[in-house]
Amino acid sequence: MIYRALRYMEVGRVAYISFGPHPGKLVATVGVIDQKRVLATPFKCMQLTGFILEFPHSARQNYVRKAWEKAGIDAKWAATRWAKKIGARERLAKMTDFDRLKVMKKNREGWGVCVHKGTYTAYMLVTKERLSGS
């Protein structure tokens, strides 16, 4: 069985910066310098996404920004599971002790808590209706 990489580093590839000086940002590759560096950031700091923009090599910032907005990368990124998981992880990290206590209490009740939506009541009401209806 032959493994083929689905995501190649190329001009216009959108990448997520996972650590380094700018963690959590999306960047578009404007040019590939060598096998370890691109014009955006070092390879070890980035994870390639499935989004590709159409613009020429060494394009200027305004050209890249227009291509970014035309493709709607921010909205597409926000809709991915990857971005939602990152958001949920950040919300969990920002929780206070009291928030964690509320989550623990709700889980003990058996109704569950939907941390991804950031609200307890909507998920609990749906669950109560489901349980009472069946």
- Where do the domains of the chain lie, and which CATH numbers do they carry? 13-87 (2.30.30.30), 95-133 (no CATH)
Could you tell me what percent of the chain has a pLDDT over 90? Answer: 32
The string of pLDDT tens digits covering residues 94-124 is 888 998 888 877 777 765 555 555 555 555 5
Helices (H), the chain: 61-71, 73-78, 81-94, 97-109, 121-133
Contact at 8 Å (CB) between 47 and 73? no
**In this predicted model, what pLDDT tens digit does every residue of 58-100 receive, in sequence order?**
889 899 999 999 999 999 999 999 999 998 888 888 888 998 8
Instruction: Tell me the average pLDDT of the chain.
Output: 80
Q: Mean pLDDT over residues 48-53, rounded? A: 92
- 122 versus 40: the higher-pLDDT residue is 40
Say if residue 36's pLDDT is above 60.
yes
Model pLDDT, residue 71:
95
The three-class DSSP label of residue 15 is strand
Distance CA(64)–CA(73), nearest Å, equals: 12
pLDDT value of position 38:
80
Residues 12 and 39 sit within 8 Å (Cβ to Cβ): no
**pLDDT of 8 higher than 60:** yes
Q: What is the DSSP letter of 134?
A: -
pLDDT value of residue 14: 92
Residue 47 neighbours by CB under 8 Å, 6+ apart: 15, 16, 18
